Amino acid sequence: MTRIGTSDLDIFPLSLGGNVFGWTADRDASFAVLDAFVDGGGDFIDTADSYSSWVPGNSGGESETIIGEWLASRKPAGLTVATKVSQHPDFRGLSAGNVRKAAEASLGRLGVESIDLYYAHFDDQSVPLEETVGAFGQLVADGLVRHVAVSNYSADRIREWMDIARRTGVAQPVAIQPHYNLVHRNEVEESIIPVAEEFGLGLVPYYSLASGFLTGKYRSVETDGQTSPRAAGAAKYATDAGLRVIDALEEIGAAHGASIAATSLAWLRAQPTVVAPIASARTVEQVPDLLAGARLELGADEIETLNRVSEWTPAQA
Ligand SMILES: NC(=O)c1ccc[n+]([C@@H]2O[C@H](COP(=O)([O-])OP(=O)(O)OC[C@H]3O[C@@H](n4cnc5c(N)ncnc54)[C@H](OP(=O)(O)O)[C@@H]3O)[C@@H](O)[C@H]2O)c1
In a domain, 8, yes or no: yes
Domain holding 107: CATH number?
3.20.20.100
Q: What is the C-alpha separation between 269 and 182, in angstroms, rounded? A: 11
In a domain, 184, yes or no: no
In a domain, 152, yes or no: yes
Q: What is the C-alpha separation between 26 and 62, in angstroms, rounded? A: 10
Confidence (pLDDT) at 165: 98
Residue 95 burial (CB count, 10 A):
18
CB-based contact 176:151 (threshold 8 Å): yes
Per-residue pLDDT band for 312 (boundaries 50, 70, 90) equals: confident
What average pLDDT does range 161-184 have in this prediction?
98
Mean pLDDT of the chain: 96
| Tally of domains in the chain | 1
pLDDT tens readout for residues 56-87: 999 999 999 999 999 999 999 999 999 999 99
Confidence (pLDDT) at 317: 58
Residue 217 Cβ inside 6 Å of ligand 1? The answer reads yes
Residue 261 Cβ inside 6 Å of ligand 1? The answer reads yes
In a domain, 311, yes or no: no
In a domain, 124, yes or no: yes
Confidence (pLDDT) at 223: 85
In a domain, 39, yes or no: yes
Residue 20 Cβ inside 6 Å of ligand 1? The answer reads yes
Instruction: Give the Å distances, CA to CA, from 92 to 17, 57, 99, 126, 179.
Output: 21, 19, 9, 11, 21
pLDDT tens readout for residues 192-237: 999 999 999 999 999 999 999 999 999 989 988 888 999 999 999 9
Q: What is the C-alpha separation between 117 and 162, in angstroms, rounded? A: 16
In a domain, 287, yes or no: no
List the domain range (segments joined by +) for residue 153. 2-177
Q: Which atom of ligand 1 is nearest to the CA of 226?
A: 40
Percentage with pLDDT > 70 across the chain: 99
In a domain, 197, yes or no: no
pLDDT tens readout for residues 128-144: 999 999 999 999 999 99
CB-based contact 289:40 (threshold 8 Å): no
CB-based contact 269:294 (threshold 8 Å): yes
Question: What is the length of the chain?
Answer: 317
What average pLDDT does range 92-106 have in this prediction?
98
Residue type, 88: H
